[in-house]
Amino acid sequence: MPTPNALDAADRARTIATIARTRAADPAPLPNAEGRAALLEIATLLDTAAHSLETEEPGTWDGIVITNTMDWDASQALRAADEIAATHPAIGFPPRFTQYVTAPVFGNNVDLPPSLLPGSPVLIVLEGDLFAKLLVLHAAIGTMTGKDIVALLLENAFRLHWKHAHLAELQAVPTDRPANRPAVPAAVEIPTPGTPTALRRAHDAYGQTVTFGLKDRRLPCHVSDEGVTHTAVRMVSHRGATIATCNDDSHRNAAAVAARELYDSLS
């Protein structure tokens, strides 16, 4: 009879296999065909590991059941799945993602994905935010025992890993050459929204890029001065804010932080 630890690990493997298949079936252009194939292969390997964990009899030592070991078939399947993830980082599965599976058996921690070592201050903030959220989820996954709760936590964790993979794509795009910068749509002038709901409605009506004046708003530049705040006079949501002491083009790198701060201020 498999141990409860092995059965917990099998549940996790099947949950992550479902995540992989769901992501592979997404009609969005990412992941590409190669990434979809990698995800399906990972799912198959996780199913193999789960089946082995559910059926393999545990070893004993002097009549005591050994609960902190994993059979060869499960170990090999998980190792192969990790190798595929490491070879295809764009699929959003970290290179040692099977630590989520082995934790109930070995009591191991789950590592954060390797840092992108982002060069942009805004990307540094975004990656730090993702890592902070992952650490909270890892702590919860390590303490929760309900099958459905753990499955939900794993889904949230892999959603953050997916965002980290997208962040890697942003990091890979050179930002110092104008030809490589994405085109910025023309902004539609709107009255300054009083609430986040008003701003969302404006986006629904006019598209993703709207502009409006700001009053009594101070934002950190994120380009210079190590976070010293300056008076912001105009927001181009969600592209960035115009600050009198900043170069507009350079300040577009601060779009995500500036838009989030504005939403926070209006909440």
Give the DSSP letter string of 150-195: HHHHHHHHHHHHHHHHHHHHHHHS-SSSGGGSPPPPPPEE-PPPSS
Question: What contacts 107, CB < 8 A, 6 or more positions away?
Answer: 68
Number of H helices, E strands in the chain: 9, 6
Q: How many CB atoms lie within 10 A of CB 6?
A: 25
Q: SS in 3 state form for 105-126?
A: HHCCCCCCCCCCCCCCHHHHHH
Bigger pLDDT: 153 vs 213? 153
CB 20, CB 97: distance < 8 Å: no
Q: What average pLDDT does range 3-23 have in this prediction?
A: 96
Residue 114 has pLDDT above 70, yes or no: yes
Confidence of residue 187 (pLDDT cuts 50, 70, 90): low
Across the chain, mean pLDDT equals 79
Helix, strand, coil in percent for the chain, rounding step 5: 60, 10, 30
Task: Look at 5-9, 103-107, 182-186 and tell me which has the smallest mean pLDDT.
Answer: 182-186
Give CB contacts under 8 A, 24+ apart, made by 68-71.
Answer: 68/5, 68/105, 68/106, 68/107, 69/105, 70/6, 70/9, 70/102, 70/105, 70/106
What is the average per-residue pLDDT within 166-186? Answer: 54
Lowest-confidence region among 8-17, 92-101, 119-128, 243-252: 243-252
Could you report the per-residue pLDDT of 97-106, keeping only the tens digit for each? 999 999 999 9
Residues 33-48: tens digit of each pLDDT: 999 999 999 999 999 9
**175 has a pLDDT exceeding 70:** no
The highest-confidence range among 165-169, 229-233, 256-260, by mean pLDDT, is 165-169
pTM recorded for the entire structure: 0.65
**DSSP 8-state code for residue 63:** T
The DSSP bridge pattern shows strands 64-65 and 188-189 to be: unpaired
Lowest mean pLDDT among 85-94, 207-216, 226-235: 226-235
